[in-house]
């Protein structure tokens, strides 16, 4: 007796779950730290694994000159297209690049080790987990392809940490894809329909070098940087009073994530460089936000004689706002998420910024949904001992498989 479609998909995912876990382990075990962003080798291995599953994988290397201009080493984006007839195309996008693991791990960040029902490793939660979620959901879907119309695509890209310009935007700009709907890598049970924008600026503070025994002969760039940093961090007091109306977004934030400077311990530093990250809530104007940040820096620098400042914008990513045309995705993901997880699946925003905005800017309705816990902090995303609960991976795969079936039948 033939099983009903949803039960058939669920049964297929269960029967192949050990294989899915092994696939995720293989992806986690290949470092994709960005920087330095040498990610083409991971794409090559991913393509080989997908080919063994019977997929025809299209590989799109980004020209080295473009990659190096963005401060990265190598990028190859992947597309898999499965067509079932005329109709709409639903794409699934996840990114393979990750931030470096940092110190303090109790598990090997590239080990893909399993303990207490969790798989540990950098990008095990965001977003190599959704390489596995989406791949195995489509594999399950393939067993019912005679009942389907339209097409599904897998987009595996490698530039999310640096803004996605050489990932989704590059694919869209080169007219390599144009889906009708998109589901992008998520962070857990919620269906994410909105996220923050992000401004990143590199600030170079210049002074004058001098011997430490005669500091009066120099101009200390670090002292100048401290004044600027204090002025910038003071803005967080104001930002905490500005709250987005979208659940999950919160308020604007500012941090400085990296500082470099000086030449030696006994030399007055003539140059200090730091990089700031300002999260922009959907209600804010990105142009006005950048103008204000530049003004704060200029006024603080002006109080230190002999100091000069150079600014270089690294990124200005727009916020994602909820798209009414994405309701068809929200409805189908909530329906199956609630049935499989046994609880209400709300929509929300996230204070992160992601690649999905690039699809939406191109007019493609999109939401974020994939494997993960109820909150980002539960998975230690971008922290030590990042992990995915394997049962969450299993259930999210079933949700995606069922959702694709509903969208394409």
pLDDT digits (tens, 9 = 90+) for 269-311: 999 999 999 999 999 999 999 999 999 999 999 999 999 999 9
pLDDT at res. 380? 77
> What single-letter DSSP state applies at residue 63?
P
Largest CA distance in the chain: 89
Residue count of the chain, please give it: 409
Q: Are 78 and 149 in contact (CB under 8 A)?
A: no
Give CA–CA dist 121/391, Å, rounded.
16
Examine residue 273 and say whether the peptide bond preceding it is cis (omega within 30 degrees of 0): no
Task: Say what angle helices 128-142 and 390-408 make with each other, to 10 degrees.
Answer: 50
Rounded mean pLDDT, 383-388: 93
Closest of 99, 164, 133 to residue 399, by C-alpha: 133
Give CA–CA dist 385/109, Å, rounded.
7
Q: Is the pLDDT of residue 368 over 70?
A: yes
Sign of the Cα torsion 347, 349, 354, 355 reads positive
Percent of the chain whose predicted confidence (pLDDT) is above 90 = 91
pLDDT at res. 94? 97
Give CA–CA dist 124/391, Å, rounded.
13
Over residues 37-68, the pLDDT tens digits come to: 999 999 999 999 999 999 999 999 999 999 99
């Amino acid at each position: 007796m033939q099983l009903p479609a949803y039960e058939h998909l669920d049964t297929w995912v269960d029967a192949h779950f050990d294989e899915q876990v092994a696939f995720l382990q293989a992806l986690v075990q290949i470092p994709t730290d960005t920087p330095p962003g040498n990610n083409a080798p991971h794409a090559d291995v991913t393509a080989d694994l997908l080919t063994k599953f019977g997929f025809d994988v299209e590989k799109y290397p980004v020209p080295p000159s473009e990659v190096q201009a963005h401060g990265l080493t190598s990028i190859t984006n992947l597309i898999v297209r499965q067509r079932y007839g005329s109709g709409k195309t639903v794409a699934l996008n996840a990114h393979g690049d990750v931030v470096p693991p940092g110190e303090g791990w109790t598990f090997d960040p590239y080990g893909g080790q399993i303990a207490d029902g969790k798989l540990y490793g950098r990008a095990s939660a965001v977003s190599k987990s959704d390489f596995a979620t989406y791949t195995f959901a489509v594999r399950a879907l393939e067993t019912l392809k005679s009942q389907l119309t339209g097409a599904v695509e897998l987009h595996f890209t490698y530039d999310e940490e640096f803004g996605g310009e050489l990932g989704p935007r590059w694919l869209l700009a080169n007219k390599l894809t144009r889906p009708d709907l998109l589901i992008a890598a998520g962070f857990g049970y919620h269906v994410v329909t909105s996220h923050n924008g992000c401004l990143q600026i590199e600030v170079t503070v210049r002074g004058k070098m001098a011997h430490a025994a005669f500091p009066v002969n120099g101009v200390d760039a670090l002292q100048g940087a401290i004044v600027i940093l204090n002025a910038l961090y003071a803005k967080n007091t104001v930002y905490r009073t500005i709250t987005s109306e979208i659940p999950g977004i919160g308020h604007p934030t500012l941090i400085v994530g990296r500082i470099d400077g000086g030449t030696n311990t006994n030399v007055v530093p003539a140059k200090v460089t730091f990089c700031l990250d300002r999260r922009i809530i959907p209600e804010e104007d990105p142009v006005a936000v950048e103008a204000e940040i530049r003004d704060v820096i200029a006024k603080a620098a002006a109080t230190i004689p002999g100091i000069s400042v150079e600014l270089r914008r690294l990124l200005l990513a727009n916020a994602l706002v909820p798209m009414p045309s994405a309701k068809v995705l929200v409805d189908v993901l909530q329906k199956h998420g609630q049935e499989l997880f046994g609880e209400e699946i709300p929509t929300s925003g996230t204070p992160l910024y992601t690649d999905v905005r690039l699809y939406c800017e191109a007019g493609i309705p999109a939401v974020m949904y994939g494997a993960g816990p109820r909150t980002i902090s539960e998975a230690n995303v971008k922290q030590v001992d990042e992990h995915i609960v394997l049962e969450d991976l299993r259930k999210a795969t079933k949700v995606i498989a069922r959702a694709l079936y509903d969208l394409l039948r």
